[in-house]
Every structure is written in C-alpha cells, then in structure tokens.
C-alpha cells in the first residue's frame, strides 16, 4: 500500500478526502456542512455489514444525532425516495450521508433534493421548480467503484408506474464533501468489483466518444480508462489490494466527472433493459459495450486509435480497443450475451423505442433510431458481434 496510505484533499470537482481510513472523518465532514442530525441512507445488504455500524459509531462519537434509512432497492424507485423523505422528517434530520453503491447514493441525493420542496420528485426534474436554498447538504461515501454518483449532479430513479428510469438533475445535487476510502471497498466480491468497474469504464469511454466540445472532460476520460486498464484486473484478482481499490474509486469519480460531456448508446440500452429486467447496471454495460462500439465504428475509428495509443495497446486502432474490451471482459469472467443473464427477446421492440428516447442517446457518437437500437439489443442478446 503506497498511494492509499497518504491523505490527499482535493477541491475538484468537489471537496474530496482521499485515502485509507478517511471514514473516521465522517462526523467532522457532517459538522463542516452544519449538520447536527444526519440521516445515513444506504441499502439493506450494506446495512447488515459492520461497516455501516462503524460509520454510525463515528457519527455518534462526534456528537451527532445520526439516523439510519436502509430501504433502498438495487435500482432505486420513486417510493424508495418518498420513504426516505418520510424517515428524514420523522427523525427531524438536517442533512444526508449518502453511503453505498450508486443506487444508495442516487436515492440519498434525491431525498436531500426533494425533502423540503413543495414540488414532487418528478416535478423536480425541471430544476426551475426547485428552491435550491431548501436543499439539504450531502456527504457522499461510495462503497463501490463504478457509478461515480458521489461526484454527479444527477440521480437515476425508476418510476415504477411507467417502468422507466428517470433522471433527476440539479447543479446543487453534487455532494459538498466526498470521502474516497478504499477500506470500504475491499469487501466487495470479485463479480461485483468487475461489474461496477466496467460501469466506470463505460462512463469514461462514452464520455470520450461523445460528439461535444469539452476537451477538459475528454482528458479526464482518457486517464480514467487508463486507470481501469491498470487497476481493475488487480482489484478483481486481489480484493485486498488497497492501491488498486483506491485507483478504481478515483477512476469511478473521473468517469462521472467526464460524462458531463455526455454518455451514449451503451447507457441508452442498459437503462431500458435495466428498467424492464431489474438487472445490474454495470453488468449490462459490460455486456453491451463491444456491440455498441461496433455500431458506432464508422464514426469513432480516429478516436479509438487515439485512445489505443494512450492506453499503450498492441494495436493502435479500432480493433485494438475492441480486442482489449473483449479480453478484459473475458479475464474478469463477465458474460458475452444478454441471454446469459436471463434477458429474452419478448420486449425487443419496446427496448428499441425506450433506448432511442433515453436522454443519453442524444450524445451517442452517431444518431441511432429505435430500429437501430432494437437490432443492437438483439445483437447483444445473441452474441452477434
């Protein structure tokens, strides 16, 4: 352990406390934001592990009246958010600790956004309806390395009534303080480490390929991909590798910082399949990634060559990148087709339509319509690369 043993404090893209053991500063972070009674929001799986009790104890030792809300689903729903708001009101909480994977952090950010507003969660999708002065402060503590939600100004919440994933966005949703502590991710099993790590790769890759002018985000995306290449296999092989764990947390934050530039068809497709089948977001991205690369191939050859050179791949061209992604998936023992995770073709038309309408489709490297997405889905279902 070398990098992880140092304490680093970054103020970009928000205040980030980086290093092993920094969870011990949680109470201090809450106090810095004026909280006396934070509500820690997480998922039930994590709530059963000692790490949540440890976080609560740090808060109690710091003199905080901390509460716990742990009823957040894997793909968080609108009712998860309203239940969280009810818990927040019942406990008279004045801030939120967003603790866990992307789902828990997304739900927690949405709770902090909407709790004191007069508008509903879905109405808050229009930032103009939100009174920013009423938003509650958030400290975010990721326990997986993938979504980067801790440095994002949006949440993805499933609308159960319409079986669709909706994006709630507000510039002030970016948590004011983030703790990146690799000790919190060492317990993540290899399969989840792999799937969440591939989400980080998908963010960096799609941000890099988005057809928008944002060279700063482009630079971050390139280095984010390099960190995934160097450290994801290490983190999957040896979960105790603290430096690899920390570098993947950073790669994850970089992906979400970079995707201000936009995402693309990997996410458009995985959002719709995820909404209908409730499958793991990172796993879906890992599966559909090479098929989407092929679909975009006519317009991304030059960018792929540039990325391949930066990553030091044996072949500095599109095929070099495609082979790297395929080899990485195989090395991490991730599936090659959607059929392998129980998805079928019964909703192919609907998936095509939903994907084309997904907000991330707007910044895909080239425009794809519903028929294109349907074909792309069928390719990923059956392994037609």
Q: Give the nearer residue to Zn ion in terms of CB position, either 179 or 258.
A: 258
Distances (CA, A) of 46 to 149, 169, 194: 17, 26, 18
Q: Give the nearer residue to Zn ion in terms of CB position, either 199 or 241.
A: 199
Residues, the chain, total? 385
Q: Give the nearer residue to Zn ion in terms of CB position, either 22 or 165.
A: 165
Q: Which residue is nearest to Zn ion (CB)?
A: 199
Distances (CA, A) of 135 to 6, 82, 95, 171: 33, 15, 9, 11
Give strand pairing partners of 68.
40
Q: Least distance from C-beta 238 to Zn ion, angstroms?
A: 25
Please, what's the b/e burial string for 342-367 (b: 16 or more CB within 10 A of its CB; e: otherwise)? ebeeebbeebbbbbbebbbbebbbee
Of the chain, the end-to-end C-alpha distance in Å amounts to: 40
Q: Which of residues 206-265 bind Zn ion (CB under 5 A)?
A: none
Distances (CA, A) of 21 to 4, 24, 182, 184: 9, 6, 8, 9
Please, what's the b/e burial string for 165-199 (b: 16 or more CB within 10 A of its CB; e: otherwise)? bbebbbebbbbbbbbbbbbbbbebeeebbbbbbbb
Q: Least distance from C-beta 281 to Zn ion, angstroms?
A: 6
Size of the site for Zn ion (CB under 5 A): 1
| Residues whose CB is less than 8 angstroms from the CB of residue 144 and which lie 6 or more positions away in sequence, other chains included | 100, 101, 102, 185, 188, 192, 193, 196, 252
Contact 100, 144 (CB under 8 A): yes
Confirm or reject binding of residue 150 to Zn ion (CB under 5 A). Answer: no
Q: Least distance from C-beta 156 to Zn ion, angstroms?
A: 8
Q: Least distance from C-beta 229 to Zn ion, angstroms?
A: 18
Q: Least distance from C-beta 270 to Zn ion, angstroms?
A: 7
Q: Least distance from C-beta 148 to Zn ion, angstroms?
A: 8
Q: Give the nearer residue to Zn ion in terms of CB position, either 59 or 225.
A: 225
Q: Give the nearer residue to Zn ion in terms of CB position, either 199 or 218.
A: 199
Q: Give the nearer residue to Zn ion in terms of CB position, either 106 or 199.
A: 199
Q: Give the nearer residue to Zn ion in terms of CB position, either 195 or 304.
A: 195
Q: Which of residues 171-210 bind Zn ion (CB under 5 A)?
A: 199
Where do contacts with Zn ion occur on this chain (CB under 5 A)?
199
């Amino acid at each position: 352990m070398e990098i992880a043993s140092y304490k680093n404090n970054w103020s970009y893209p928000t205040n980030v406390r980086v290093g092993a053991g920094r969870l011990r500063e949680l109470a201090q972070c809450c106090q810095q934001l004026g909280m006396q009674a934070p509500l820690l929001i997480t998922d039930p799986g994590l709530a059963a592990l000692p790490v949540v009790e440890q976080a609560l104890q740090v808060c109690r030792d710091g003199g905080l009246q901390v509460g716990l809300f742990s009823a957040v689903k894997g793909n968080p729903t609108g009712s998860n958010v309203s239940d969280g708001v009810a818990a927040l009101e019942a406990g008279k909480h004045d801030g939120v600790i967003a603790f866990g994977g992307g789902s828990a952090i997304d739900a927690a950010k949405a709770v902090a956004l909407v709790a004191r507003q007069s508008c509903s969660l879905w109405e808050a999708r229009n930032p103009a309806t939100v009174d920013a002065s009423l938003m509650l402060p958030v400290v975010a503590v990721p326990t997986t390395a993938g979504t980067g939600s801790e440095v994002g100004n949006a949440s993805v919440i499933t609308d159960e009534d319409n079986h669709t994933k909706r994006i709630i966005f507000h510039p002030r949703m970016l948590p004011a303080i983030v703790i990146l502590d690799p000790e919190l991710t060492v317990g993540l099993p290899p399969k989840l480490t792999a799937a969440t790590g591939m989400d980080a790769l998908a963010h960096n890759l799609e941000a890099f390929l988005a057809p928008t002018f944002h060279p700063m985000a482009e630079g971050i995306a390139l280095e984010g991909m390099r960190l995934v290449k160097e450290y994801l296999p290490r983190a999957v092989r040896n979960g105790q590798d603290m430096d690899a764990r920390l570098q993947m947390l950073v790669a994850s934050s970089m992906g979400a910082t970079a995707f201000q530039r936009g995402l693309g068809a990997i996410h458009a497709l995985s959002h719709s399949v995820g909404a209908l089948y409730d499958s793991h977001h990172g796993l879906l991205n890992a599966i559909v990634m090479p098929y989407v690369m092929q679909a975009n191939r006519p317009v991304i050859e030059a960018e792929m060559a540039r990325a391949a050179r930066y990553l030091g791949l044996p072949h500095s061209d599109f095929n070099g990148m495609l082979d790297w992604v395929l080899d990485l998936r195989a090395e991490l023992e991730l599936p090659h087709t959607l059929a392998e995770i129980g998805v079928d073709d019964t909703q192919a038309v609907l998936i095509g339509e939903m994907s084309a309408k997904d907000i991330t489709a707007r910044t895909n490297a080239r425009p794809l319509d519903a028929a294109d997405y349907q074909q792309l889905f069928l390719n990923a279902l059956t392994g037609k690369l």
